[in-house]
Amino acid sequence: MTVGIFKDCDIRGIVPEELNPDVAYFIGRAFASSFPEGTSFVVGGDVRTHTPSLKEALIRGLRDSGGNVVDLGTVPTPLFYFAIDHLRTPAGVMVTASHNPPQYNGLKIGFAHRPPLPEDFTALARKVEERAFRKSVKGRLLSVNLTEEYLTFLASRVPPPRRALRVVVDCGNGCYSELAPRFLHSLGHDVVPLFCTPDGTFPNRPPNPEAKNLRALREKVLETRSDVGIAFDGDGDRVVFVADDGTVLEGEKGIIFFIRQHFAPTPGEKKFVYDLKCSSVVPEEVRRAGGIPIPERSGHAYIKRRLLEENAVMAG
């Protein structure tokens, strides 16, 4: 097995040379063996062509080590995290390579009360290498669809829009292809779908919504005279915005938008955790909004952990 697939914040490799069903099975065995027998795990997967075989092997491994599995089906990563909380399960595994090219796949791990840490992946890699698996009665398997519950949750977190917008939604043929247009339409917006048919070969653009991959979105925003364009990555946990003039609002500009719209109106003492790679523009904007900027090293696990430790309002 390639130990190099175990990164600081996730597991990721080229299929099948580095990551294949055998490896996914062993990871499932090791992960379930790290919890008490009978623990329940949620499992989801993205739209990549090799995700079904990896997910099936992972689930088999979890069950063979005594884990009970709740299979969410094909879902965006944010719905996977929602499911851990909604179903009150201790942990889960999402089969996805996020924004990486189609030849990659991977596994994201979620815990109920904290983000995964580098030491979690180090320990998991060691268990896989040593085949330190528990012998157990096979766990149960249950399939559930949480689409409606997730959309209801999202609606409860979003204030009514001041006015209806014309929005071009570029899902890149990824996991949000059906949910994102539906949700925005439910808020009253005029939705123009772009690449909103799930397709794990990603025929229209790479899964990464960086500026160089968003030409079609920029053109569609201008063509339809839309107010905004939204582009998601392959598993739906990364988003980029395009302004009405076709300008891509990458990185810090997107963060500043959320600081002004959602962080600034929050009353009382408030903290904002930001990536150390950000320029001084971000902490300056936080201070201007009456907040306390807190820098943190790059990596979603580190930023999420600091967010929780500081009881911060937002992070980015």
Active site positions, annotated: 98
Phi and psi at residue 295, in whole multiples of 5°?
A: -75, 150
Q: Is 143 helix (H, G, I), strand (E, B) or coil?
A: strand
- d(C-alpha 304, C-alpha 315), whole Å: 8
Question: Cβ–Cβ contacts within 10 Å for residue 160, how many?
Answer: 7
Q: Which residue has the tokens 């395009």?
A: 242
Q: Is 11 helix (H, G, I), strand (E, B) or coil?
A: strand
- d(C-alpha 266, C-alpha 284), whole Å: 17
Q: Which residue has the tokens 């946990």?
A: 237
CB 131 within 8 A of CB 123: no
The H or E element spanning position 274 is strand 271-275
